[in-house]
Structure 1
Amino acid sequence: MSTDQDLLSDDLLTHPYAVYERLRDTAPVHRVTGPDGSPAWLVTRYDDVREALANPLLSLDKRHALPGGYKGFALPPALDANLLNMDPPDHTRIRRLVGRAFTTRRVEQLRAPIRRTADHLLDALGAHGDTDLIAAYAAPLPITVICDLLGVPDGHRRDFRAWTDVLVAPDPARPQAAKEAVVAMLGFFTRLLAAKRKEPADDLLSDLIAVRDESGSTGNDRVGSDRAGSDRAGSDRLSEDELMSLAFLILFAGYENTVQLIGTAVLALLQHPGQLAALRADPSRLPAAVEEFVRYDGPALLAIRRFPLEDVTIGDVTVPAGETVLLSLAAANRDPRRFPDADRFDLGRDATGHLALGHGIHYCLGAPLARLETEIALAALLERLPDLKLDGDPGDLRWRPSLRARGLLTLPVTY
């Protein structure tokens, strides 16, 4: 066990895979310092991370956390009552409600609209030139898709991108910015829900509001007051906080994870021209290639923090009940015990079994949509920008200063 790793250290933020390799080789579990200075336990090896992801004794509910440990984002109750903070039966109930919108069959129906959006964004680039592919393509594509799915008006999408960026990678020089972003989002979702109640439309948010309001709820109940009996047989009841938190989570995660994945996938291809050429020659390999993209350099370095309901042994360490456990998805996916030559990007690899999108009951709800968006985004690029190249030295690329999200701030290219 090691006790010397700061999760906000420069080396971990700029070269995470090298640091995780050292930690993984040293010990299976490490005592670390969280971003707020509080302690946590970091798990790095594939088998341990996979087992922990599905362990029902590791709770996502912050009510089981001991005082003084790292707890992650601090959000107001109206945004915090989401799936990332819940265990069964509440998690089961809410996931059942929204899961219908993210089945593989339902998501596949979005293929044509997603491709139209991709083509529209590429049309705006012109025939040749240079651009920041994150700002011009990788970011606007997923925000358009998820906002269309939820029913968010066009005029608010740029604001939401800005708020999300602040939360994912807070600026230490502007400590108030994250609080301001949370306040702005809370007001945004309050107004959005009111507008949807007044004028429902053919979108996911209107459907969720209908489920909420038709359940007979008063509109004033909160999570704490109805949680005890919320999973009774036949009940699909949502509290008002749960409704708003669910809308926040779908929009936040549906945008954030996919923009990062598209960006790192394009970068991996541009840095491996032989594999890029092979994929151009046979685009039918794209669905399988997405699994290697997400294994090799996925959008989440860490899974959501967990809190043991009782003392739990992970690897060779017993973690006391209530302390914070962090599971490194990035370290697990580069573990050579599971993936031989794991630091090599290889589109011929069988990457199934990676943990980039989770495992167990908390497996990423939007995984089918993220996969489809990435596949379509890359297919359109391969087809329409045959001379796409990185503009500059890869060493000069800037990455998000975030312990959680792995993503490029910019991706300068020529085409």
Structure 2
Amino acid sequence: MDNYAFTVAERFMRYVQIDTQSDVDSASFPTTQKQKQLSNLLAQELKEMGIRDAEADEFGYVYATIPATISEKRPVVCFCAHVDTAPDCSGTNVKPILHKKFEGKDIVLPDDGTQVLSVNEYPYLEKHIGSDIITASGLTLLGADDKSGVAIIMDMAHYLLTHKEVKHGEIKILFTPDEEVGKGTAKVNLAKLGADFAFTLDGGEAGTFEDETFSANAVRITINGVIAHPGYAKDKLVNAIKIAGDILAMLPKHSFSPETTSGREGFVHPVGINGIAEQATLDFIIRDFETSNLAKYELRLKAIVEEVLQQYPKATFEFDVTEQYRNMKEVLAEHPDIARMAEEAYKRSGLEFVKEPIRGGTDGSRLSFMGLPCPNIFTGMQAIHSRKEWIGVKDMYKAVEVLVNLAQVIAE
């Protein structure tokens, strides 16, 4: 691909300017209609490339097929990315900036001088000295998570459709909405997709490959206090908000949390609090690579709640657990050829193949348990969900190359 004029950076900078932020509190699907704007654009661009069946459906999913260039029957692979951006940071009026030939000096983002990108904070920037990087302007996230994956898949499609001499089997493309709020596969039609296995493009540093994620549950604790007029509340009022505060204060300070764990350690993380004196709710996420550990963490959390409630005998609580996703390694361990093919594609692209677990989850977690084994490939995205989010252009180029090589490995 040395002489190929990559389109990925130009596509990426266009896509990030479309606001596709999802909404965790929305009951609709997709959770925000604005996600469909990008989905419709992608379907149209795929049609313009010559893909006849490209379609954006009513739920914001995009389905498309790159026809095979060989007659032999081969497994059908799908490449997948999500169009939405995280609710953690504004995704409105994103202004992407291309910094040509990064010199290694601090970059002060122009719309907010307090947002400074430095090698000290992000050592991976050192590998991009002399190369182009892309940031936002300081007021928003960039949207590399996961519009870099979207742009990489689109450029792969462009390359294969303009280089028919490349031998590959049938390739499916899937773009999903609402991944960032845990609903990315809720309405996906796998029968319509028709793939045997898949790869998400939703990872970080070049060369990384992820076939293991956290297993995840959500816990909602509802605290029922006793309401009374505050002027006449003595020995009557039991304030649910104060009970919630006591529960949070009882959480371990040096363990059990994302800010005190790393590697393969799991955690319990409070992510939301809401309520009034009569009733309050606490929302937690529970994470670990061993699914069996989730129940242990939940028991420990419930014990903390029960200990606090002993001080408030008139109060009651509910403890509701919801399954979110499971470690995709449980499925992918049964399909070792998928990782072997990826490793060969990385090798042909001149990359060291670095397997690592994700301290999080992807659409691939759910897809794997739905019958579509689906590990994760890098895009280069860094400092995701923040105003300092950035990506190296050469990493996106390399990811496109990996996909093209992977298509050929599967054909072989």
TM-score by length of 2: 0.23
**Which of structures 1 and 2 has the bigger CA Rg?**
2
- Indicate the structure with greater helix content: 1
